[in-house]
């Protein structure tokens, strides 16, 4: 069996490397496939979230903010776009038929207490508020329960209806 490096790269990449061919001078050996798109905590949350929403909504994970929000063209366009482009929301609920976003969900772990994260979170909160899309912040836990999560989501929608 080959080395770890051989197993991590695709067949085509392996063949190119074996033949000593580099694609357009790009070193693809620095890239690898992640074991999972989600962290363990995110996977556990996702499983419970899917139970809660059932087949009523589509659940997407790690959606770039620039795929959810648009930026008005004009002065400052590039800066505003660059501010949202590298960021993502942990989970996004969308209507099944239209794929219209209806709720963003952020899992907040201890890293959200860092000054740079607090500033980022304030920006993201303001963005969601500006467009009227609810954003639910959930503290990370070792275990999630469907009833607790259902209550948090319902409470967020009720809060929005009163506002």
Q: How many domains does the chain have?
A: 2
> Which residue bears the tokens 């070792």?
142
Domain shared by 22 and 44, yes or no? no
- pTM for the whole structure: 0.80
132 phi and psi, to 5 degrees? 80, 20
Domain shared by 98 and 49, yes or no? yes
Domain shared by 65 and 101, yes or no? yes
Domain shared by 128 and 149, yes or no? yes
Tally: H helices and E strands in the chain: 7, 4
pLDDT score, position 22: 62
Tokens of 9: 């790269």
Domain that holds residue 75: 40-162
Domain shared by 135 and 158, yes or no? yes
Domain shared by 153 and 82, yes or no? yes
Domain shared by 26 and 95, yes or no? no
Domain shared by 22 and 101, yes or no? no
Domain shared by 46 and 15, yes or no? no
pLDDT tens per residue, range 36-71: 999 999 999 999 999 999 999 999 999 999 999 999
């Amino acid at each position: 069996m080959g080395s770890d490096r051989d197993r991590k790269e695709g067949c085509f990449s392996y063949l190119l490397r074996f033949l000593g061919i580099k694609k357009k001078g790009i070193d693809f050996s620095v890239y690898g496939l992640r074991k999972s798109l989600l962290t363990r905590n995110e996977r556990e949350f996702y499983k419970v979230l899917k139970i809660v929403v059932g087949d009523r909504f589509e659940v997407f994970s790690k959606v770039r903010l620039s795929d959810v929000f648009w930026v008005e063209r004009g002065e400052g366009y590039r800066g505003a776009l660059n501010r949202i482009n590298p960021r993502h929301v942990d989970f996004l609920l969308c209507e099944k038929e239209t794929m219209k976003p209806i709720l963003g969900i952020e899992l907040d772990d201890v890293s959200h207490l860092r000054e740079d994260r607090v500033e980022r979170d304030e920006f993201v909160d303001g963005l969601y508020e500006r467009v009227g899309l609810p954003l639910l912040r959930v503290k990370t836990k070792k275990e999630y329960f469907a009833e607790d999560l259902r209550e948090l989501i319902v409470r967020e929608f009720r809060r929005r209806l009163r506002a």
